[in-house]
Structure 1
Amino acid sequence: MAGQKTKARVKRREVESGDGWTVITHGLSNLKVRGDEKENGKGNAKGGKKSVAGQVPNSTVKDLTAEKLLAEFEILQERWKGCPVARQMQELFKKREKVVKTAVCIGIGSFARDWEQRWRSLWQLVAFVHVVRLLSDDNGITTYAQDPAFTTLDMDFLKLLDITTVQTGIEKHISTESFVFSPFVDWFLLLPMFLKEKDPAVYVGNEILDDYTTYAQTAEKQAKLDECNNIGATFLLGREKQKLVDFEGHAHALNGMVVYLKEDEDGEGD
């Protein structure tokens, strides 16, 4: 049911999903959802059924169900407990004023597609749910997720966690009472699409900058450079940054991510 409530830096590359999202990931390039290519008549005729490097597979893991995904998720949750980054999050969030009413998860990837990246996505989901629970009060937090790679199975699985999936427009749910979780969505999409004129209470994701000149190496990025620099500079005002410690459970899941908290809330509840 929609809107239900729930109680060492590694080298990254930019990859493009089937509908144009670009995600900062690890060791992949030219990411495309193979099913979308087939529908658009752009399948690789020479390749036949052979997998093409960088594509998101159209198939899901054999015999996988939402319930089996939930079981995998719960196993990872148990392994998460007590790890250094989980303890760090506990310290950062547990005693803070309970101001968050909504949480949005942007660009986490597919948990069900038949590729190794699904484990990275599951670990990121463990972190997202952990923060939601730390920030939640007795009324709970309404949670949403959006990613173009989601399958029906992904959505069924997230529903078991009371996370509502949306195809577009997740930014409409971001307010001053929101937690934004965005693991490695590229800056020139993240800022103008999801953070423009937004002032979330908590943000966890890739570092926000006030100058992306070094990273604007294509015409598309250069066209958005000034806008993104302005959005980034505005976002950073009144915020404190905390770098997450390295997560040994999966080197590509969280390493390099940061937390932004409002400075005027720092230390409340201590």
Structure 2
Amino acid sequence: MPHTSRRKRASVPAQKRLQVTDDDGWTHVTSGNNVRRAMRTARGPNPQSDNADKEKDTQAQEPVLAPAEAPARLTLDELQMQYAAHRERWVDSDTWKTLTRHLAEQMRERERMASRDEAVRGPIDAIVCIGLGSPSGFLRDGWVDRRTVSMYQLAALDCIAKQLSRPDNNIPLSFPIYAQDPVFNTLDCLLLESLGITIVQNPVAFERITQNTLLFCPGAEKKHLELVLPSNPCLVFGGPLELADSDVIQNYISRVDSRALVPFSINEHAFWKMRLYFRVDEEDE
């Protein structure tokens, strides 16, 4: 005789992975329980707003991603030790050794251009980083553990800054480095600040880009690239821009040259098909 009094175990619904676009336009992969929802207040009528802005304002509710969640017991000292290990592996890689040569070539070219073009104020005036991600935190159920990717990309950013500030480059030993990403948490900010990187909020990083800036954008969304590339930065690290379906990005591509990175075998996700893009001297075209 069947046991009719046995209670059935309640089924647990499977977590669904979502692609979430936050207020600043960054796209993230997350599970439903890692997203806090916030009601957006619609702005008053603005006759100068285009149709895209009007559609955005009329959305009643959109998911907003909080800063990435770091492990509860993780300390800054431990995070710095993790970063040091990632940096050591990056420095020993053929990817960085090749990039070092490309950077040296471009610094020599920038110095040559600066000698006859008043608009070129030395090799660079700043480094602006957008889309780095969180070196310490994570989004639950993400397809790729972005912490390791962000660690290696941060190591690349730091090494590039150190390479450009060497005395033999004939440029100031220090220049501002700005980083902007909505997922930065407290530990991330402390780590980056210990490396001399200034954390800024949207849209400050976009406003810091000039024709003498190195744009470090390994994880930038297409919509952000369309905002910053018209500023004509002298160097761009990221991409592959060639795959972007955008007239703005392709217009930038048509005016620059690039050098491919040697594949980073330790973690291919960190620098997948990325390149160093640089403006071409008009006299050399």
Structure 2 gap segments, 5+ residues each? 1-17, 41-64, 109-121, 140-144, 166-170
Structure 2 counterpart of 1:260: 277
Report 1:1-270 matches (<5 A). Answer: 15-23=19-27, 29=29, 34=34, 36-37=36-37, 59-95=69-105, 96-97=107-108, 99-114=123-138, 116-136=145-165, 137-169=171-203, 170-187=205-222, 189-195=223-229, 197-209=230-242, 212=245, 228-229=246-247, 231-264=248-281
Opposite residue 25 of structure 2, the aligned amino acid is: W
Shift of 1:57: 8.1
Alpha-carbon spacing, 1:252–1:265, altered in 2? closer, same or farther (3 Å): farther
Structure ranking higher on relative contact order (CA contacts 8 Å, 6+ apart):
1
Residue by residue over 1:108-145, the C-alpha shift from the partner in whole angstroms, topping out at 9 and shown as x without a partner, is: 11112146321110111111111122222343221000
Which whole-Å CA distance do the structure 2 matches of 1:83 and 1:185 have between them? 24
Alpha-carbon spacing, 1:236–1:57, altered in 2? closer, same or farther (3 Å): closer
Rg (Cα) greater in structure: 2
- What is the percentage of aligned positions where both structures have the same residue? 24
Residue by residue over 1:154-209, the C-alpha shift from the partner in whole angstroms, topping out at 9 and shown as x without a partner, is: 1111111110111112111101111101113232x1233322x2111110111224
Task: Tell me the number of residue pairs that the alignment of Structure 1 and Structure 2 aligns.
Answer: 218
Structure 1 gap segments, 5+ residues each? 1-13, 42-54, 213-227
**Contact 2:131–2:181 (Cα < 8 Å) also in 1:** yes
Shift of 1:62: 2.7
Residue by residue over 1:49-101, the C-alpha shift from the partner in whole angstroms, topping out at 9 and shown as x without a partner, is: xxxxxx88853123222232222111211112231111111110124235112
**Contact 1:174–1:180 (Cα < 8 Å) also in 2:** yes
Which whole-Å CA distance do the structure 2 matches of 1:266 and 1:127 have between them? 31
- RMSD over equivalenced CA pairs, Å: 3.0
Residue by residue over 1:215-238, the C-alpha shift from the partner in whole angstroms, topping out at 9 and shown as x without a partner, is: xxxxxxxxxxxxx40x22331243
Opposite residue 72 of structure 1, the aligned amino acid is: Q
Which whole-Å CA distance do the structure 2 matches of 1:133 and 1:194 have between them? 24
Alpha-carbon spacing, 1:59–1:211, altered in 2? closer, same or farther (3 Å): closer
Alpha-carbon spacing, 1:259–1:32, altered in 2? closer, same or farther (3 Å): farther
**Contact 1:34–1:58 (Cα < 8 Å) also in 2:** no
Alpha-carbon spacing, 1:15–1:241, altered in 2? closer, same or farther (3 Å): farther
Alpha-carbon spacing, 1:207–1:114, altered in 2? closer, same or farther (3 Å): closer
Query: Which secondary structure state, in structure 1, belongs to the residue aligned with residue 36 of structure 2?
Result: helix
Query: Which secondary structure state, in structure 1, belongs to the residue aligned with residue 215 of structure 2?
Result: strand
Alpha-carbon spacing, 1:72–1:240, altered in 2? closer, same or farther (3 Å): same
Which whole-Å CA distance do the structure 1 matches of 2:32 and 2:199 have between them? 20
Structure 2 counterpart of 1:219: none
Opposite residue 86 of structure 1, the aligned amino acid is: W
